[in-house]
A and B are shown apart, each in its own frame.
Chain A
Amino acid sequence: MADSGAASAPKPSSSVKLVLLGEAAVGKSSLVMRFVNNDFQENKEPTIGAAFLTQKCNLPTRTIKFEIWDTAGQERFASLAPMYYRNAQAALVVYDITKASSLQKAQHWVAELQRQASPGIVIALVGNKFDLASANPASDASTGGDDADGTATAEEEEDVDGESDARKVPTKTAKAYADEEALLFFETSAKTGLNVAEVFTAIANAIPETSLKGPRGVGGQTNLGRQEDSARVNLTGANAQGPKEGCAC
């Protein structure tokens, strides 16, 4: 990596395992669909079966390939999560800004991640369905995610007491909690696309360089002096043409 001085050298690319957590119907799958396909389905059916999707995120100095594990549809049993956040480098914990209980559930997930997941995991708290909060002229303008200052969009929204406003979770409350727990924080709309790309970019930027040596690695378990990649065995034959020792076949 570091030894390539040539400008033409391809950017280093790393895989990042990301797990989506949150109460049912907060829009987890929709967020991923927006991120991966830039698509949104109104009244989407609950996800049947978990989903596994990948999407690349181009940063100035490197490419991050997200491997996204969506536990949607089985929230009640909470049994997929431990298998999904095992060795995950990032978690996206989603709540619905129009449903107060969903933030509590999100806080429960954050606590479990802090207790059980890899010590270096990057956690982003995301309040979805920003489009349902009234008096938010910003949402249309921000579609497409040009707005570089992601969190600011949400902070403009301090006057949360608009009468027809469906919002039940004030930005301030969630932001304070996120700050306290050192989480990334965004309010998003999978429907309009507001802040969706920003969430993933912020996560990509927050993954420590040291945990990106291999195609998969975990923060806090970096291995100085030894390149993880050089220990990995490729099953698909790329370096399988070694000497066939003691073998006639």
Chain B
Amino acid sequence: MESLDGTDWDVLIVGTGLPQSLLATALSRSGKKILHIDRNNYYGGSEAAFSLQEAEDWSRNVAKDGSSSATFTNVSVHRPEASETDSAKLSSSRAYSLSLSPQLIYTRSRILPVLVSSKVHRQIDFLAVGAWWVYTPGNIAEEDSQVRTGNAVGQGTLRKVPNGREDIFAAQDLDMKSKRALMKFLRFIGEYEEQGEVWEGHGQTSFSAFLSGQFRVPAALHAPLLALTLSSSDADHTTTEFALPRIARHLRSIGSLGPGFGSVIPKWGGLSELCQVGCRAGAVGGAVYVLGNGLTGPATDERPSDGATTETVTTPDPLKVVLKDGESVTTRWIVGSSDDLEPLQTSQHEPVEGTPLAEPKLCSRSITIVSSSLEALFPPMAEGAPIPAGAVVFFPSGSLNSRKENDAKPTLPPVYVFVHSSDTGECPPNQRVLYASVAMTGDVAVRLLERAVQALLSSKNLQPQPIVLWSLRYEQTSQITQHKESAASARTASPDERILVFPPTSLDLAWDDSVLDQVKGVWRSIMGDDGGEFMVFEDREGVGADDEGDEL
């Protein structure tokens, strides 16, 4: 393979984000001729992971030509002045692998068995997410002057979310009445689907009102339950019908892959690792990979010159596209995210019928490297449980405001911080990475994220206070409404049935299995009924299946 020019492909996959990479794996045994390109010089698209240097380059590039991708804006890097005497220092750039989309994956997500059945799981290590914490402000800052000095919050406390019934029984700061209310709610949520009469009338009411009204759960205990929803909205705007399935998902996942934890994160930079593993499977299957080369203009029809039309439905007439480096390729299918396919000028998605997920369309994020191992946030989870590599800290709406702000403004959304240990390979030992996220943009969001990180680091649980070594901030959009039926929308979004469009990356903080449905939908379009079973493969020749045992 010396040149792309003039070659014919079955499928052109544009972008190496997660859906495209999973598609590459799904098609890796199809016998189709696949060209997989990415306009970036790195894999992963919106799910990429960066070294420090790469992150700083990325920041500069986004600032330079923000127009090329609408996904990320306002990227900035902050390196606090380090004093010479500080023992805590940044390591070399490559000691870090910072994830742009630090989602956690519930252990009952369908993606995990799919990784196993497609035999790519051997190349990924998954680590457990341990404790969940709720931040309680100490002394809500009364003085406005404190806001200006950046010290808006008094020293607060992180309280651990009870990890199931035993924890609730053991909790010493709960009175019997609260315990009973909580237990009653947990029993309900275990089979809430069968108890529609309890909640269906309250689907649209706020989850807080539901907890108080139906279960008499005291208001002080709403925050830990809200945390488990990972809702981007404040308590009043998180509906019962949104919250229940998500809390159920959390509780049902605990124990399914080992004791004490309900979610996992891939090692080496989150979803980026899934992208790379997906693309590697594609490459082993024969797909050709070209980075730094994207689409330039609309696709043109390349009908056979003799006027003959293709007979079968599954092999449409080829399309011709010109790549950035001037080469032109013909292909029967083009697949990519709406962002990657923008040069094709396919019409914008019209929202199709389907239930919109209550998820944010924009958010601000920060990635912060700190100088401590934050051991207090990673207590052992249970007997025989793996050492946790992640922790979740929830800052309820309003917990980071000064009193004045609370009075004056509409409620601000909550902030979530994922803390990753060096076991993830994302930072060197004795450092930690904090991934903070809030569902809004602008200066207020920046301030919220800063306060969240500051409040976490100065909380009573973590003394002496760790210092910030480096941080990155950015805004991310997911402009197009995401739909549950997006598998269908992926097929119908484009007027040209040969161009298949994935919706933009979800900003949800937990992995959403609907990505799998989208990939399967596209895979089915390309393969027709001859595809066999989706993502179910045998081990390839030369790859020993005996390695399960010797890794234990």
Contacts and interface: CB of A to CB of B under 8 A. Distances in A.
B547 interface: yes
A49 B285 contact: yes
A73 B280 CA distance: 14
Contacts of A44: none
Interface string B272-286: 000010011001111
Nearest to B287: A49
A178 to B, nearest CB: 22
Contact of B254 (A86, A236, A240, A245): A245
Interface stretch (A76-84, A90-98, A126-134): A76-84
A232 B125 contact: yes
A214 B550 CA distance: 11
Contacts of A82: 42-43, 291
Contacts of A49: 283-287
B547 A52 contact: no
B27 to A, nearest CB: 12
Contact of A86 (B3, B112, B276, B423): B276
Nearest to A116: B94
B89 interface: no
Contact of B544 (A54, A220, A225, A248): A54
A52 B540 contact: yes
B526 to A, nearest CB: 18
Contact of A247 (B190, B261, B286, B548): B190
Contacts of B256: 240, 244, 247
A86 B385 CA distance: 29
A236 B126 CA distance: 11
Contacts, number: 177
A239 interface: yes
Contacts of A240: 256-258
Contact of B550 (A65, A83, A239, A245): A65
Contacts of A63: 550
Interface in A200-242: 214-216, 218, 220-228, 230-236, 238-240, 242
B252 A80 contact: no
Contacts of B52: none
A143 interface: no
B423 A242 contact: no
A192 B488 CA distance: 56
Contact of B95 (A71, A117, A215, A221): A221
A239 B258 contact: yes
A223 B426 CA distance: 12
B447 interface: no
A247 B254 contact: yes
Interface in B250-278: 251-252, 254-261, 264, 268, 276
Contact of B260 (A53, A65, A242): A242
B252 A247 contact: yes
Contacts of B304: none
Given A54-B543, A83-B280, A223-B423, A236 B252 contact: no
A228 B289 contact: no
Nearest to B126: A233
A36 B544 CA distance: 11
27 contacts: A13-B550, A49-B283, A49-B287, A51-B284, A52-B284, A53-B542, A65-B550, A69-B280, A71-B283, A74-B1, A76-B2, A79-B290, A119-B94, A223-B423, A226-B429, A230-B386, A231-B127, A231-B387, A233-B126, A236-B121, A239-B257, A240-B258, A243-B382, A245-B165, A245-B254, A246-B165, A246-B254
Interface of A: 13, 15, 36-37, 46, 48-54, 56, 63, 65, 67, 69, 71, 73-74, 76-77, 79-80, 82-84, 86-87, 116-119, 214-216, 218, 220-228, 230-236, 238-240, 242-249
Given A49-B284, A77-B288, A80-B289, 18 more contacts: A49-B286, A52-B540, A73-B1, A74-B1, A77-B1, A83-B283, A87-B268, A116-B94, A117-B94, A119-B95, A223-B423, A223-B429, A231-B387, A236-B121, A244-B256, A245-B165, A246-B186, A249-B252
Interface of B: 1-3, 42-43, 92, 94-95, 107, 112, 115-116, 121, 123, 125-128, 163-165, 186, 189-191, 251-252, 254-261, 264, 268, 276, 279-280, 283-292, 382, 384-389, 422-423, 425, 428-429, 540, 542-544, 547-548, 550-552
Q: 7 closest Cβ contacts across the A-B interface?
A: A242-B259, A49-B286, A246-B251, A79-B291, A245-B164, A50-B283, A245-B254
